[in-house]
A and B are shown apart, each in its own frame.
Chain A
């Protein structure tokens, strides 16, 4: 069985991962961006996990918490007697709702040129492992399930976060269900 393509949904997930990385002000596309994008609302992975009784929203929330990127250091500012949330609401009151977040994004994206972000080595590895997962499961194309399985297989903190939603074997089982060799 030859696997040589990403489904259009999986391709969309990769593009989405780039968008998430950019929005978080990350310099590269990381595994967490790929994982979150693969868990998109109506994707294969979300469907499979939902059917398998896995807490998809919990998994998403866990990933989202890791997505925040290199934002303001609220802890350090609190140590300096500055309440970032208070600054944020005062700023939004003056400049309009969401102004502070907008300025944050502008600051983080400063100096970045072009639209293409590189993948981290770990994220690239995940995409390679996704191919292997598709081959292993006898699937013709790589979809979001294979990407998430690859995230789990790659180990690392994002895999931990994903597995926290439930136990890892049941996440794996849910994702593998629906494949021929499951």
Chain B
């Protein structure tokens, strides 16, 4: 249901509302990503394995979540 609503909002004809929704989703996803990556690292996952799951490059994953982020 949430997914359907999201699809509707993504088609919101008002860019202001549409973009705000997109940003809110990205920021929420960011928070969840932080926790999931943390746990994966704690469980011994390599950056490559994490990157594969996230669909990004190993460098991108490491740059975003590695030390000194």
Chain A interface (Cβ < 8 Å from any Cβ of B): 72-73, 76-77, 79-82, 84, 87, 91, 94-95, 99-100, 103-104, 106-107, 110
Task: Assess the B35–A80 pair: CB atoms within 8 A.
Answer: no
How far apart are the CA atoms of A103 and B25 in the complex, in Å?
A: 15
Label chain A's interface by main secondary structure. Answer: helix
Task: Assess the A80–B31 pair: CB atoms within 8 A.
Answer: no
User: Of the candidates B5, B9, B24, which one forms a contact with A72 in the assembled complex, judged by CB atoms under 8 Å apart?
Assistant: B24
User: Of the candidates B9, B24, B34, B69, which one forms a contact with A103 in the assembled complex, judged by CB atoms under 8 Å apart?
Assistant: B34
How far apart are the CA atoms of A81 and B5 in the complex, in Å?
A: 6
B34 and chain A: residue at smallest CB distance:
A103
Chain B interface (Cβ < 8 Å from any Cβ of A): 1-2, 4-6, 9, 17, 20-21, 23-25, 27-28, 30-32, 34-35, 39, 69
User: Of the candidates A73, A91, A100, which one forms a contact with B24 in the assembled complex, judged by CB atoms under 8 Å apart?
Assistant: A73
Q: Say whether, besides A73-B23, A76-B20, A76-B21, A84 and B28 are in contact (CB < 8 Å).
A: yes
Task: Assess the A80–B2 pair: CB atoms within 8 A.
Answer: yes
Q: How far is the CB of A39 from chain B (nearest CB, A)?
A: 30
How far apart are the CA atoms of A30 and B17 in the complex, in Å?
A: 27
Task: Assess the B28–A82 pair: CB atoms within 8 A.
Answer: yes
Q: How far is the CB of A68 from chain B (nearest CB, A)?
A: 14
User: Of the candidates A73, A81, A94, A103, which one forms a contact with B20 in the assembled complex, judged by CB atoms under 8 Å apart?
Assistant: A73
Q: Say whether, besides A99-B35, A103-B34, A72 and B17 are in contact (CB < 8 Å).
A: no
Task: Assess the B24–A81 pair: CB atoms within 8 A.
Answer: no
Residues of A within 8 A of B9 (CB): 79-80
Q: Say whether, besides A73-B23, A76-B23, A103-B35, A81 and B28 are in contact (CB < 8 Å).
A: no
